Amino acid sequence: MTDALRALIRDVPDYPRPGIMFKDITPLLGDPRSYRAACEAMAESYRGDGVTHVAAIESRGFLFGAPVAISLNAAVVPIRKRGKLPYHAEFEEYELEYGTDALEMHVDALPAGARVLIVDDVLATGGTAAAAVRLVERLQGHVVGCSFLIRLTFLNGLEKVAEKKVSTIIAFD
């Protein structure tokens, strides 16, 4: 299955800037069987972990987080870029190559002790995922793991979430 999914991920050179090889998931999303298989595979490692909430990171994480939540019979919680949520929110800043960014989540998105799976499409440098973990934990959720469709191994993002259970479906070296 992994090879079939990998074949549906298109390389786009020099996007969003020169020197970057972007991993485009839209061909995978356009194949209903493969998309379903990817979402099921992302949920599989967490079936016995009592996940109550799936925290999906904006924006492509939403595409996987909602189906994973349905598969796990869990609630879905959006984690968005700062300033995008309509209600009272907490935020967590993280480092970018040039500057900082921030993620936010509604303050009432999780009951205390919620068992949360964080979902995103790609684990690259790990900064976004680590910020999501800190945010969920600050809002009294327990992060049971992080699930990603793709891991870019050469960027060492796994190191930033190494204390958590992490699963990825496809790795690119």
For the chain, the average pLDDT equals: 96
H-run or E-run covering 143: strand 142-152
Catalytic residues: 60, 97
Pairing of β 21-24 and β 10-13? antiparallel
**What pLDDT does 99 receive?**
80
171, two tokens: 């790795």
From CA 116, how far away is CA 51, in angstroms rounded?
6
pLDDT digit string, tens, across residues 78-108: 999 999 999 999 999 998 867 899 999 999 9
Question: What tens digit of pLDDT does each residue of 115-137 get?
Answer: 999 999 999 999 999 999 999 99
Chain segment 2-55, per-residue pLDDT in tens: 999 999 999 999 999 999 999 999 999 999 999 999 999 999 999 999 999 999
Amino acid at 173: D
Helix (H, G, I), strand (E, B) or coil at 79: strand
Query: What pLDDT is recorded for position 1?
Result: 80
pTM for the structure as a whole: 0.96
Domains defined for the chain, CATH in brackets:
2-172 (3.40.50.2020)
Task: Please give the pLDDT value at position 96.
Answer: 80
- Quick one: the chain helix, strand, coil %, rounded to 5? 30, 35, 30
Helices marked H in the chain — which ranges? Answer: 2-7, 26-29, 32-44, 60-71, 127-138
